[in-house]
Amino acid sequence: MDIKNGFVATVGNTPLIRLKSFSEETGCEILGKAEFLNPGGSVKDRAALYIIEDAEKKGLLKPGGTVVEGTAGNTGIGLAHICNAKGYKCLIIIPETQSQEKIDTLRTLGAEVRLVPAVPYKNPNNYVKVSGRVAAEMENSIWANQFENLANRNAHYETTGAEIWAQTEGKVDGWVAATGTGGTYAGVSMYLKDQNPKVRCVVADPMGSGLYSYVKTGEIKSSGNSITEGIGNSRITGNMEGAPIDDAIQIDDQECVRVIYQLLNQEGLFMGGSVGINVGAAVALAKQMGPGHTIVTVLCDGGGRYQSRLYNPEWLASKGLAI
Ligand SMILES: Cc1ncc(COP(=O)(O)O)c(C=O)c1O
């Protein structure tokens, strides 16, 4: 019998999908790790599970306890599902600029949701810092702290990275992904480099994020902005520290949207915005490396979470991104 033991056992082991139109266009194999097929709908289910199980193993999270986190949405959704499945409470602090779909989903899942103004990380009222303070003041609670908690990247080292290596039978030349916490990028890069130091590991970055300039010049500097959610950063998180980085590729929103609609119309894949940055960067990396290479990236979440924005022509036009 092939039966999964509940939500928790259903996280991970996602398919690796060949993106036909992008592969044909570049003469490379462009492969997307189908993280939108996780039971909570995103790549963040893996980090959420590892963070909770790490706290359980360390005796920090006790029955009836509360998991507190500051999140742009997907980590909160993963945590809320796992808290329900394991009998914990979940409290999420989220910037009010995030999509209504994600906020509504969190509430439907039973999480307590507190909206806070979107302010930069250096501001003490930034959502991440608020979540740390709230957790510190609450009895029987843990702060998931996904940006600094290395259980996050361990999830991707032990599962996502290992799965990609096994699924390609070690035939992977390039790995490219945008970073939010950096858990996915760092964990996978570290695993792949441990198997074969020649795998080219490249950070994909949206406009408005400082990592592209950091990789190119050593200085964190950003310009412009992006409609994408959950990615981009203006600091080196604990999860990114020590991660191998061979190069960085910047993708603007116009290219991101073009890629998203190619995924929808030619591949049949209904994807979230960060996937447009990832696949756009995979195509750029394929062009740099030349035909015959295998490039892997992540399909982080599905498009349903962005219906009112990315898939709303009027909203896109209001951002100067008419399709
Ligand atoms: C839609 C989406 N894509 C990409 C990421 C980035 O993943 P990571 O935090 O592992 O860098 C996130 C993180 O929240 C996300 O929500």
Please write the tens of the pLDDT for every residue from 103-112. 999 999 999 9
What is the rounded distance in angstroms from the CA atom of residue 53 to the CA atom of residue 81? Answer: 14
∠ CA 46-48-51, nearest 5°, is 105
Report CA 157 to chain centroid distance, whole Å.
14
Residue 62's pLDDT band (boundaries 50, 70, 90)?
very high
Q: Number of H helices and number of E strands within the chain?
A: 13, 10
Any ligand 1 atom below 6 A from CB of 274: yes
C-alpha 19 – ligand 1 centre gap (Å): 20
Nearest ligand 1 atom to the CA of 272 is 1
How would you classify the pairing of strands 29-33 and 16-18? antiparallel
C-alpha 23 – ligand 1 centre gap (Å): 24
Any ligand 1 atom below 6 A from CB of 257: no
What pLDDT is attached to residue 157?
Answer: 99
Any ligand 1 atom below 6 A from CB of 239: no
Any ligand 1 atom below 6 A from CB of 45: no
DSSP state, residue 85: H
Catalytic pick among 4, 20, 33, 44: 44
Any ligand 1 atom below 6 A from CB of 301: yes
Largest CA distance in the chain: 56
Torsion sign (Cα): 229, 41, 48, 81: positive
Nearest ligand 1 atom to the CA of 146 is 9
* Short-list 180, 151, 149, CA closest to 298: 180
Annotation marks residue 44 as catalytic: yes
What pLDDT is attached to residue 35?
Answer: 98
> Is the model's pLDDT at 123 over the cut of 80?
yes
What is the rounded distance in angstroms from the CA atom of residue 231 to the CA atom of residue 189? Answer: 17
Q: For the whole model, what pTM was predicted?
A: 0.96
Name the residue at shortest CA distance from atom 15 of ligand 1.
230
> Is the model's pLDDT at 218 over the cut of 90?
yes
φ/ψ (deg, to 5) at 112: -80, 125
C-alpha 258 – ligand 1 centre gap (Å): 20
Is the CB of residue 269 less than 8 Å from the CB of residue 263? yes
C-alpha 318 – ligand 1 centre gap (Å): 25
**Ligand 1 pocket test, candidate residues 37, 42, 245, most atoms within 8 A of CB:** 42
Is the CB of residue 230 less than 8 Å from the CB of residue 74? yes
Residue 102's pLDDT band (boundaries 50, 70, 90)?
confident
Tokens of 317: 């036009």
